[in-house]
Structure 1
Amino acid sequence: MGSWFSKLFSTQEINIAMVGLDNAGKTTILYQLRLGETVTTIPTIGVNVESIKINNINFSVIDLGGQSKIRPLWRHYYEGTQGIVFVVDSSDKERIEESGDVLRKMCKNELLKDCALLILGNKKDIEGAVNEDELTKLLKLEMIQLKYLVKSVSATNNEGLTEAFIWLSENVCH
């Protein structure tokens, strides 16, 4: 009974890498979840590491810069990662194809083969943003072998973020 009782009140820790093109909203999402408010951010050059807690689950999130010169460094953070959050600016149709190319290339990395993949179509509150079905098609996700979920969210309004991270917590390998 002791182990059951301790599991009931224990806090699980999940290691997450948050990636995506620059200006997709990764850091805004991270701080919305961490602080419960929208903060003014600057482009991430390198990494931010933060812990966020959702439903008694601690997520250790590595927020990796998305500029093209930084993306080759992402692979150095994959080891030990249980889940990937890939953020796409769903209002920037011109860069969605590039996001898909980057995403599909990333998913071929052997270190990620057992990871759950959460794809956040951020900025759903902006007029012209594509919905989840359109985003799935535009990113060409049929080519991805990982278990994934596409979720439209708004970092500034905190819409859909908690539900998305709950899905991630339920689908990572422990």
Structure 2
Amino acid sequence: SNYSDTMFLFDWLNDILVSFGFRNKDAKLLFLGLDNAGKTTLFHMLKYNTLKVYEPTIQPNVEELVIGEIKFKAFDLGGHETARRLWQDYTATVDGIVFIVDSFDRKRLPEAKKELDELLMLGEVLGEIPVLVLGNKIDIPTAASEDELRYELGLWNKLDREGPVELFMCSVARKIGYAEGFKWLSSYV
């Protein structure tokens, strides 16, 4: 059964590349966001097609995932200058950025906005790198709506940057919304 599990996993990972539009592409994607936004959960979902709830990470946590020729790398942002330093180290080699926001945690939206602003202000470093913003946890009834999130994150006036930036609402737990976001991203990669 181990063999069939492996085959299933391979099929699943191949399906991901196809459904996300990344088949036959070679890209490095950087996942950023505050801790607890859903990066680790999304990684686990991408890797195993199952949900696992994680304890919030204490330190800036770096994770890597490779599917086919696509390399995913994630780390937490939020007040640590190490994240900024790390950030400067990685942008040169990145093809796309996924910025994940917890749309349920309204108290931290200003903090998420601050990190996103700093990210998008790195215009000369970022150039035309596409930025996919995922508003996660829409399965929670009291989560912010798409309009509210656009407003809170100041995304209405971000459209003048060099590279494309777009918001997609999603629920990693319910497996909805993020595939569309990745499809959008893959069209620029």
TM-score range, shorter chain: 0.7 to 0.9
Residue 123 of structure 1: how far off its partner (Å): 0.5
- Three-state SS of the structure 1 residue aligned to 2:187 is helix
* Alignment correspondent of 1:47: 62
Query: Matched residues in 2 for 1:127 and 1:31: separation?
Result: 24
Q: Of residues 1, 25, 39 in structure 2, which corresponds to 1:12?
A: 25
Secondary structure (helix, strand or coil) at the match of 1:60 reads strand
In structure 1, the partner of 2:91 is 78
Query: Structure 1 pair 161/52, CA: closer, same or farther in 2 (3 Å)?
Result: farther
Unaligned runs of 5+ in 2: 1-22
Report what 1:133 is aligned to.
Answer: 147
1:27 counterpart residue number? 40
Tell me by how many angstroms 1:76 deviates.
1.6
* SS of structure 2 residue aligned to 1:17: strand
- Which position in structure 2 is the counterpart of 1:102? 115
Percent of pairs identical after alignment?
31
2:183 aligned residue: 166
Does the aligned pair in 1 maintain the 2:129–2:164 contact within 8 Å?
yes
Answer whether contact 1:82 1:114 (CA < 8 A) is retained: no
Stretches (4+) displaced over 3 A = none
Task: Give the deviation of 1:41 after TM superposition.
Answer: 2.5
Counterpart secondary structure, 2:47: helix
Q: Which residue does 1:91 correspond to in 2?
A: 104
Q: Which blocks of at least 5 consecutive residues in structure 1 are unaligned?
A: 1-9
8 Å contact kept, 1:107–1:113: no
Aligned counterparts of 2:165 and 2:129: Cα–Cα separation in 1: 9
| Match for residue 136 of structure 2 among 98, 111, 122 | 122
Q: Displacement, 1:107? A: 1.3
Shift, 1:148, TM fit: 1.3
The count of aligned residue pairs is 159
Q: What is the RMSD computed on CA atoms of the aligned residues?
A: 1.8
Structure whose residues are more often helix by fraction: 2
Q: Normalized against structure 1, the TM-score is what?
A: 0.83
Q: Which residue of 2 aligns with 1:4?
A: none
How far the C-alpha of 1:134 sits from its partner, in A, is: 1.3
